[in-house]
Structure 1
Amino acid sequence: MHTIARALTIAGSDSGGGAGIQADLKTFHQLGVYGMSAITAITAQNTLGVAGVYPLPTEAVAQQMREVLRDLGADAAKTGMLFDADIIRAVASEVRAASLQKLVVDPVMIAKGGAKLLLDEAIDALKTELLPLAEVVTPNLPEAECLTGMTIRTPDDMREGARAIHALGARNVLMKGGHLDGDTVVDILFDGRDFFELSHERIHTRHTHGTGCTFSAALTAELAKNTPLVAAVEKANRFIFEAIRTAPQLGGGHGPTNHWAVVE
């Protein structure tokens, strides 16, 4: 019998180490979870931007998942950069085959520097194939606008967006409010019935590369440890706040956060 919580990340590789597979595995480790990976694409990037994206063959993604899950298993999993519709469909098929229940979907679409990380034609597959399998989906506001077709500029808009995404099949929706103005960041969690607001001070810094990946990885780690959802979101929020606050100030662009962040 295993004695440690296990988490699988299905995402792209970030050669700069601040986002993607690298950020996820660092976060899993810091939060006491055994991390495993299925790489969907290789990116050539640094803090200044993405220079190249090289997707893996669809079967390579599926086989990574299959081999990990049939032997090691996973208490929770997350998706990040999936790139195209074929990869999304393959990931969804493996999630169903393994009966993975605790799936966190981070709908990665655009890099900090503006590079497209999800093809336009893949958005429908994300909505129809993957969101219905998600325990939690964690869009930022531009991603939520893309998923819903709405303009989201206020907390009330965030609630309406959460309802629309929940209607696509996700069991819980966490709308991340970092793109709204103000000195306080408000995130809104919707479970299909009730809304929960979580707020924290905004840290004004350019060192925010990989924040979405790191947050969703922290949430996945907590769910793998059977932390209740609201408490898991709170822990993930504290982790990303500290990771940004103590960022190592690397690179000349959007630098990485601190994956050694410590929270109670």
Structure 2
Amino acid sequence: MTDELLYEVTGHVAVIRFNRPDRMNTITPRMLQALSTRLIEADSDRSVRAIVLTGEGRAWCAGLDVGAAASGEGIGGDTSNMGGGEFNLRDAPPVVLNKIDTPTIAALNGGAAGYGLDLALGCDIRIAAEHAKLSAAYTARGLVPESGGTWLLPRIIGWSKAAELVFTARTLTATESLDLGLVSDVVPADDLMSTAMDLAQEIATNAPMAVRAAKRLMRHGMSEDFEDHVQRQYLALLPLFASKDFREGLASYLEKRPPEFTGR
């Protein structure tokens, strides 16, 4: 593990922080592996019901470390020194973000660019500080979105707007990102983490098995037809009907009290 990525669990919320403020939280190969490891760890922890990703300093994540890439250590180079053997793209953080069932929130404390933008798009919910910017500057660097951006962006904002962003390599303000639906809220910088944590805690008060099942269903719904999806929904309901949380949800409703879900 590396101190370039910080991890803590508060209540039912895991917080992952990019911790290279002097380099605008650009990602090194070691950070890539650490991020995937921490995401999987949080997703496997029954006490964790939401994950918040944020950054230290003035940037959220300005992308891959260009110096590491130039020296052959970044994506497209030799990744065998990443601290755990050969790196497989199927284990890359954007892929892991797409696979895990725990809800993820990107608390954008500053700029998200390149690979950083892909990571932000991979989170379920994005909240931006007023000064944050989202930069799709891939083509201006002779590249395409590094990991998933061309799959995610059209699904989030539609083909036409996604094409405009990627083809022009445009940088968006937080307000412009909100108008496009790239982020769900824009708040003063001082309120960013409290807003993100409040939202995470609100998610965490609901039945975790149901929340995770809902995320899985939404993910599958992106690639299957309606009838197949309705069948999948029915199958997802069966174990939930048998859960203690379902009984607690009914009891708390009838007794007019807040539920106390255990994830069982």
TM-score by length of 1: 0.30
- Bigger share in strand: 1
Higher relative contact order (CA 8 A, sep 6+): 1
Larger radius of gyration: 2
- Bigger share in helix: 2
TM-score by length of 2: 0.30
